[in-house]
Chains A and B, each alone.
Chain A
Amino acid sequence: MTAMRFDLPTPDLETEPFWDAAKEERLLIKHCNACGKYHFYPRPFCPYCWSDDVEWFEASGRATLYTWSVVHRNDLPPFPEWLPYVAAIAELEEGPRMMTNVVQCEFDQLEIGMALEAVYYPTSEDVTIVQFRPRPASS
């Protein structure tokens, strides 16, 4: 029997490209051709100007840390196995923020504003999530 877990997404026609790209280690967000803004999470219309002239855009994966929390208690499977871990909001270079995790970083090194880069973690056979790690100054 497969263990119950609460973390898997339900991709639909609108969001499937994001999850497919993540498996290929690419971070997709949406770009609006009408007003030029980027948005996340992906929608079929722009949340700033309501144009439906929006298309997928491969983000650079560069971000800064907007805020974070070290999570010590989360009893929904599979998260107990993750504890403690870092929940975070990353501000992408293109503008939008996304909820994510910071990995490969000591907790006492976490600092709002720190440079991050995307990494990809296969959380199940068919789902890969986008996480972030500290980005060296040179990249």
Chain B
Amino acid sequence: MRVDDSLVIERRAVISGAGQSDIGRRLYRDPLELTLDACLVAIADAGLTTADIDGVATYPGPMDVPPGFSGAGVVDVQDALRLELGWWSGGIESPGQLGSVINACLAVAAGLATHVLCFRSVWEGSAQGDKGRAGVMGGGGGGYRASGFMEWTMPFAAPSAAIWIAMMAERHFHEYGTTREQMAQIALNARKNAGVNPNAIYRDPMTMEDYLNVRMISSPLCLYDCDVPCDGATAVIVSHADTVADLRKPGIQVEAVGTALRGRPSWDQFDDLTTMANRDAGAQLWTRTDLKPSDVQLAEMYDGFSFITMTWLEAMGFCGKGESGPFIEGGERIARDGVLPLNTHGGQLSAGRLHGYGFLHEACVQLWGEAGERQVPGDPEVGVAAAGGGPLAGALLLTRRR
């Protein structure tokens, strides 16, 4: 059922600026410094100064474990930039990483703040060094013991999202006849786009043969189905729509958001493990707008693992349930000159695991027409940014204001 427009208060928010720090596989730089770099670029991009920022939102907030997962919390940034805040929020429990941005939209609509600085920073590349995940998990000296829901995954050697998502993919393959050659297109498309993104981590061309021959991580996911840990920070500014006259460039309208979490948010008990929370968040988004999936001209959607993007394609209604395999087959539809350009910066698979915010940044850059060599042709006006996998899902439908 269509939600009454008077209730769709996220539409009172615009994205007014966006910025990123240096991004690299391992930068060995102070993560707060990276965070502030991104924040200051975004603030200047909006034509604002730190004195204009009266709100801050972030995901996941300060976290020491696992190292590298969070580069800074709200108070770190508030103190460093001496911000005077009317509203702030940081935390890991939200509709995916972009839930923090959606919170900011609601805060400006509620009049608690006018310009909210939203950021996400990571230094997982440096934190992991050459030690892999063992280098960043808790414990040491036999001190780690699984509790909570991990009590029912760790003892059974299923300790990570790679394995959980792999099992979802296998179920999708079984139910819908999806193939590795189809799923490969998410990785190949990302790499092709990364090739024309100077900030991407992996830019060398990748062929189907490369994909099919690289080592398996957790079947059916191979190395190239897994995103690449990196160091870097991303920031966007969410402003109240009434301020657009004060901004340096046209605000990008937040047309509608999706945030739902229904059913059992469990990696084994969810009713249909070929999808998860994005199924309901995506459906909800379309109840808050007159636009349709066919109006969308570019989609920047989470690829922590390539299969997750396929679930987002289905969840957002860009193809039917179970039809993401045929939809991406051959890669033409999702190419920059296709019907639905996808992950035009290279996604997290090739541009680096900036963890959700990279997709929103890219959607904004594309809608502003600032993407340079990788710019989607045809002057796109409608885009989607979506992030999260499994029980996490948040999506924004964005339009360029005229």
Residues of chain A at the chain B interface (Cβ within 8 Å):
1-12, 15, 40-41, 47, 66-77, 79, 82, 85, 87-89, 96-101, 112, 123, 127, 129, 131
Contact status B273-A4, CB under 8 Å: no
Contact status A9-B269, CB under 8 Å: no
Q: B127-148: which residues lie under 8 A (CB-CB) from chain A?
A: 131-134, 137, 139-147
Q: B228-248: which residues lie under 8 A (CB-CB) from chain A?
A: none
Contact status A69-B267, CB under 8 Å: no
Of B139, B216, B269, which contacts A96 at CB under 8 A? Answer: B269
Q: Is B49 an interface residue (CB 8 A)?
A: no
When distances are taken between beta carbons in the complex, the residues of chain B under 8 Å from A131 are: 156
Take A9-B147, A67-B167 as given contacts and tell me if A73 and B218 are in contact as well, using a CB distance cutoff of 8 Å: yes
Nearest B residue to A12 via CB reads B147
Contact status A67-B152, CB under 8 Å: no
When distances are taken between beta carbons in the complex, the residues of chain B under 8 Å from A96 are: 269
Distance between Cα atoms of A82 and B142 in the complex (Å): 18
Take A4-B140, A67-B170 as given contacts and tell me if A74 and B145 are in contact as well, using a CB distance cutoff of 8 Å: no
Q: Is B292 an interface residue (CB 8 A)?
A: no
When distances are taken between beta carbons in the complex, the residues of chain B under 8 Å from A41 are: 149, 151-152
Q: List 19 A-B contacts (CB under 8 A).
A: A5-B144, A6-B137, A6-B144, A6-B154, A7-B146, A10-B147, A15-B151, A66-B273, A71-B217, A74-B159, A74-B163, A79-B159, A87-B156, A87-B166, A99-B152, A99-B153, A100-B156, A112-B174, A131-B156
Total residues of chain B contacting the partner, CB 8 A: 45
When distances are taken between beta carbons in the complex, the residues of chain A under 8 Å from B154 are: 6-9
Take A10-B151, A67-B167, A69-B163 as given contacts and tell me if A99 and B140 are in contact as well, using a CB distance cutoff of 8 Å: no
Residues of chain B at the chain A interface (Cβ within 8 Å):
131-134, 137, 139-147, 149, 151-160, 162-163, 166-168, 170-171, 174, 215-221, 264, 267-269, 273
Report the minimal beta-carbon distance from B308 to chain A, rounded to whole angstroms: 15
Of A40, A71, A123, which contacts B155 at CB under 8 A? Answer: A123
Take A70-B216, A89-B167, A99-B152 as given contacts and tell me if A6 and B159 are in contact as well, using a CB distance cutoff of 8 Å: yes
Report the minimal beta-carbon distance from B147 to chain A, rounded to whole angstroms: 4
